[in-house]
Amino acid sequence: MKVSTFKTAGKFSLLVLSLLVAALMLVGCSGEEKKEAAEKAAPAAPEKVTLKLAMDADPVSLDPHVQLSGGMLQYSHLVFDPLVRYDKDMNFVPRLAESWERIDDLTMRFHLRKGVKFHSGNDFTAKDVVFTLDRLKKSDDYKGLFEPFTGAVAVDDYTVDLVTKKPYGLVLNMATYIFPMDSKFYTGTDDKGKPKDAIIKTDYSFANENESGTGPFVVTSREQGVKTVFTRFKDYWNKDTGNVQEIILSPIKNDATRTAALMSGDVDFVMPVPPQDLDRIRSTDGLQLVTMSGSRIITYQLNEKRNPALADPKVRLAMAYAYDNQGVVEKIMNGFATAAGQMSPQGYVGHVDSLVPRFDLDKAKALMAESGYPNGFEATMIAPNNRYVNDEKISEAFASMMSKIGIKISLKTMPKAQYWDQFDAQVADIQMIGWHSDTEDSGNFFEFLSMCRNAETGYGQYNSGNYCNAKVDELTLAAQTETDPAKRAADLQEVEEIQYNEAGFIPLHWQNLSWASKSNMNTEDIVNVMNFPYFGDLVIN
Amino acid sequence: MFAFTVKRILQAVIVMLIISFIGFAIKHNFGDPIRDLVGQRVTAAERAQIRERLGLNDPFPVQYVRFLRDALHGDLGQSYFFKKPATEVIVKKAPATLELVFCAALIIVVLSIPLGIYSAIRPKSFFSRFVMGGSIVGVSMPVFLTAILLIYIFSVELHWLPSYGRGQTVLLFGWWDSGLLTADGLKHLIMPSIALSSIMLPLFIRLIRSEMMEVLESEYVKFAWAKGIKPWRVWIVHAFKNTLLPVITVGGVQLGIMVAFTILTETVFQWQGMGSMFIESVERSDTSLMVAYLVFVGIVFVLVNTLVDIIYGLVNPTVRVAGRQ
């Protein structure tokens, strides 16, 4: 659109408004009358607490094992219920498991809650946990996560052992992913003669369209991409909880529309809130905004193999000094991110408080002068333009910051549909990637992003910078089989420090999380850093 | 007339083949649909296995021929995201889009004809200038801006109209989800149809006006005036009837374009029709649904244009003469 047409538009905007109003009167009069009629027709039903919820996406399936994604986990917390879950401070709290104890190096024993029913009416027992773990080990998305487990063994109806192949420090983290499924309900064959327990990504399966969990809500109607209705499960084991009887979930993809839906009162709760609307919601009466620093780290990887200059540790350090994390967070992210100097966010065991962003242009210039490339060099760079918040703008800012220390970057951005193939092929010297740790643990970052690439073991699968340090590998692997929390933490923190000192990559920031709702809800109490609001606990006054 | 119709239909088939080929070529080069189906942790080897299972590793000609063969049986492929046949998904979403286009077309017809005629007859009056000025704004304002503006005025500020979605719908004939029969559904239709019509309406007003002005200058109208025929009869029966022909042609083409324009309108209003379905399928790299949509919209375009040509032939026999040559 040319500038001149915009000017015309501005000049005539009043005119167009009046035209619109005129048009609306023509069309709208009948609508207003009908609204009144409709209100009369529907008598006031007995008080029923309904939550109208709008998110940017809806669950892709009713089968919790079909995909590992934020949307699916949010759904799992509504309809299923995990053995344990995180509280706000990332402590483990009992759900279907009432307590747990370590029996030996390989075995963790869980004591299950009694009297829990599935939506189908079946009783929940240890058998269901065994069934669920077996199924997780068959799921394309989850089998990697559950690889360290041999399986689950039912000791009696209400006791189950999770057994690992080697000592494993993250059994509880993984138990947050075990949402027991109804083994009776999902066993056998359906009307079409297909096995009910099949996990199918792209076609019909029984589990894609039917559910039976132990969670606070039952799916009562679902039109994918349009609307899903959840109704409170009458026999839910935890009576002492939220008061929402029905949740109507509508996915609203467009950011402006999602905000407008909340502001106009069409929905009660939206997530996420687009950064440009934060102030608007904050300043609107009757609405509340809850934000939190998130745990997805955004980084640039520097490919040491493609570009010899990037193999020079002084150059990499200079780049880390030349990047203004805080400036980008303030100016481009509207303050809606937390500047990062490392991968592990606060609350993760590997987090080291002293590893902060280090913006210092003079130091960066000095380092460049000392390096083997005092006159700078040229580098190529790619980034997605619709994957992370403001990914394209951030990358442009990065390129211009690097130009101040003589590094000329030619940047290419592309939609995520094309990006990941290019990322895997390592087509550029500098590549962007964001990562959320599936295990809510630092080890996951290092296994995928900073261990030496190894096609056989899969370690370093997303390490497109080819950063490689034997000590990092050694410590990360040691942490995997370490069950002493203090020792594990020490190992993982050492990894962060090594990476920081070598500038193995450029950390940018952790994206913040946001939820907005009407102010008569205890929104603050049900949200968490994993972004699985516990709607079962939501109280609407 | 028969030969003319057969010829048009043959042309239509060829156009469809070309559209399907281009659509399929895009699909083939678009990117990996598997990325959106799996979590980040899934290894490259496992992704390759899934790709193999879905037949995405076969060479392009093999996949294209398979696609054509299935398409002849009415099978346009499987939507990865919806986990259903793509045709089923599109047919389910079509009513929403068609009702939206219908309402927008209704607004255009009802408003453009009287406004166009009036501003042709009284080109210098204040109201005509106002309409012409407004139409410039209408043409130059992007649909999504109009849509957002409408939402902010009528939903957020005034709370008159709902901001998103289709509201309550009624199931007709077992598959047509209609919003036209409930008060709630109609209320949800108002803003999207205004937004959708906002580009085409001014275009039509201007088209009708200029055609009409030309006709008003012609000899037979002057002759009609001379005969002392009543003004409204000259305007409507003599002049307006003859401006209709070009308007029908343009209208036919624009109707197709309007189906395409719904992409923006539907995205802003979270209107669950084919337009938003398409844009989301692009985002998710649900490539087979993408191709199915392109083919489907192609069919709509070709059908509408073929029909318009045939109607045109009926209205104006000289076209048929030309077609015979």
Decide: helix, strand or coil at residue A146: coil
CA distance A502 to A355: 12
- Long-range pairs of A36-42 with CB within 8 A, sequence gap ≥ 24: A37/B183, A38/B182, A38/B183, A38/B184
- Residues A480, A237: contact at Cβ < 8 Å? no
A298 contact partners, CB below 8 Å, separation of at least 6 = A340, A388, A391, A394, A432, A433, A434, A507, A508, A509, A510, A511
A20 contact partners, CB below 8 Å, separation of at least 6 = B146, B149, B150, B153, B194
Residue B317, pLDDT score: 64
CA distance B49 to A38: 54
- ipTM of this predicted complex? 0.83
Q: State the DSSP code for A45.
A: P
Radius of gyration of chain B (CA): 24
Residue B83: what residue type?
K
For chain A, give me the number of helices (H) and strands (E)?
A: 18, 17
Q: What b-and-e string marks burial along B161-174, b requiring 16 or more CB atoms within 10 Å of the CB? A: bbbbbbeebeeeee
CA distance B88 to B295: 14
Residue A54: what residue type?
A
Chain B (294-313) residues lying within 8 Å, Cβ to Cβ, of chain A? none
CA distance A310 to A327: 24
CA distance A202 to B2: 45
B316 pLDDT tier (thresholds 50, 70, 90): low
Q: For the segment B22-46, what is each residue's pLDDT rounded down to a tens digit?
A: 888 888 777 778 888 887 778 888 8
Q: Does residue B264 carry a pLDDT above 90?
A: no
Phi, then psi, of A383 in degrees rounded to 5: -155, 150
CA distance B26 to B24: 5
Interface touch B30/A417, C-beta < 8 Å:
yes
Computed over every residue of chain B, the mean pLDDT equals: 83
Residue A32, pLDDT score: 40
Chain A (306-335) residues lying within 8 Å, Cβ to Cβ, of chain B? none
Do you know the residue count of chain B? 325
CA distance A107 to A151: 10
The alpha-carbon gap from B247 to the nearest alpha carbon of chain A, in Å, equals: 22
- Residues A175, A110: contact at Cβ < 8 Å? yes
Q: What angle do CA B276, A334, A518 make, to 5 degrees?
A: 65
Residue A2, pLDDT score: 39
Chain A (136-175) residues lying within 8 Å, Cβ to Cβ, of chain B? 140-141, 144-145
Q: Measuring CA to CA, which residue among A182, A177, A133 is closest to residue A154?
A: A133
Of A318-327, A383-392, B179-188, B190-199, which gets the smallest average pLDDT?
B179-188
Q: Which is more confidently placed, A39 or B272?
A: B272
CA distance A187 to A207: 10
CA distance A292 to A327: 19
- Long-range pairs of B68-77 with CB within 8 A, sequence gap ≥ 24: B68/B20, B71/B20, B71/B295, B76/B288, B76/B291, B76/B292, B76/B295, B76/B296, B77/B288, B77/B289, B77/B291, B77/B292
Q: Does residue B88 carry a pLDDT above 50?
A: yes
Q: For the segment B96-114, what is each residue's pLDDT rounded down to a tens digit?
A: 988 998 999 899 989 988 8
- Residues B170, B182: contact at Cβ < 8 Å? yes
Q: Measuring CA to CA, which residue among B238, B221, B216, B258 is closest to residue B109?
A: B258
Question: Beta strands A430-435 and A377-384: pairing type?
Answer: parallel
- Residues B254, B203: contact at Cβ < 8 Å? yes
Q: Measuring CA to CA, which residue among A480, A420, A470, A428 is closest to residue A450?
A: A470
User: Nearest residue on chain A to B156, judged by CA atoms?
Assistant: A264
Q: What b-and-e string marks burial along A155-189, b requiring 16 or more CB atoms within 10 Å of the CB? A: eeebbbbbbbeebbbbbbbbbbbbbbbbbbbbeee
CA distance A417 to A384: 9
CA distance B172 to B99: 13
Interface touch A28/B164, C-beta < 8 Å:
no
Q: What is the mean pLDDT for each group of 10 consecutive residues in chain A (541 residues)?
A: 38 43 42 42 62 91 92 94 90 94 93 94 95 93 90 94 93 94 94 91 92 95 91 92 93 91 93 89 92 92 93 94 95 91 92 94 94 92 92 95 95 89 92 92 93 87 93 94 91 95 94 93 91 92 86
The alpha-carbon gap from B59 to the nearest alpha carbon of chain A, in Å, equals: 18
**Which run of H or E residues covers position A270?**
strand A269-271
Q: Measuring CA to CA, which residue among B323, B314, B324, B292 is closest to residue B92?
A: B292
Chain B (187-206) residues lying within 8 Å, Cβ to Cβ, of chain A? 187, 190, 193-194
Residue A9, pLDDT score: 39
User: Chain B interface, mutation test: which of A11, A36, A202, most B Cβ atoms within 10 Å?
Assistant: A202
- Residues A495, A350: contact at Cβ < 8 Å? yes
Tokens encoding B256: 């197709």
CA distances from A395 to A247, A294, A382, A390 (A): 39, 20, 8, 9
CA distance A354 to A500: 10
DSSP string, A47-59: P--EEEEEES---
Tokens encoding B261: 């324009």
Residue B318, pLDDT score: 64
Angle, helices B86-121 vs B287-315, to 10°: value is 40
Tokens encoding B253: 């083409």
Q: Which residues of B touch A208 (CB under 8 A)?
A: 83
The alpha-carbon gap from B280 to the nearest alpha carbon of chain A, in Å, equals: 9
Q: How far is CA B159 from the centre of its chain?
A: 29
The alpha-carbon gap from A206 to the nearest alpha carbon of chain B, in Å, equals: 12
A324 contact partners, CB below 8 Å, separation of at least 6 = A359, A401
A29 contact partners, CB below 8 Å, separation of at least 6 = none
Tokens encoding A61: 């399936």
- Residues B179, B167: contact at Cβ < 8 Å? yes
Chain B (74-133) residues lying within 8 Å, Cβ to Cβ, of chain A? 78, 80-84, 107, 110-111, 130, 133
**Which of A68, A417, A448 faces B31 most closely, judged by CB atoms?**
A417
Query: Looking at the complex, does the CB of residue A20 fall below 8 Å from at least one CB of chain B?
Result: yes
Largest CA distance in chain B: 85
Q: Measuring CA to CA, which residue among B175, B2, B192 is closest to residue B90?
A: B175
This prediction has a pTM of 0.85
CA distance A161 to A109: 4
Tokens encoding B285: 């790299």
Query: Looking at the complex, does the CB of residue B268 fall below 8 Å from at least one CB of chain A?
Result: yes
B319 pLDDT tier (thresholds 50, 70, 90): low
CA distance A123 to B99: 47
Interface touch B137/A424, C-beta < 8 Å:
no
- Residues A217, A231: contact at Cβ < 8 Å? yes
Q: Measuring CA to CA, which residue among B171, B169, B162 is closest to residue B190?
A: B162
- Residues B205, B131: contact at Cβ < 8 Å? yes
The label of the residue with tokens 């997780």 reads A136
Phi, then psi, of A86 in degrees rounded to 5: -85, 145
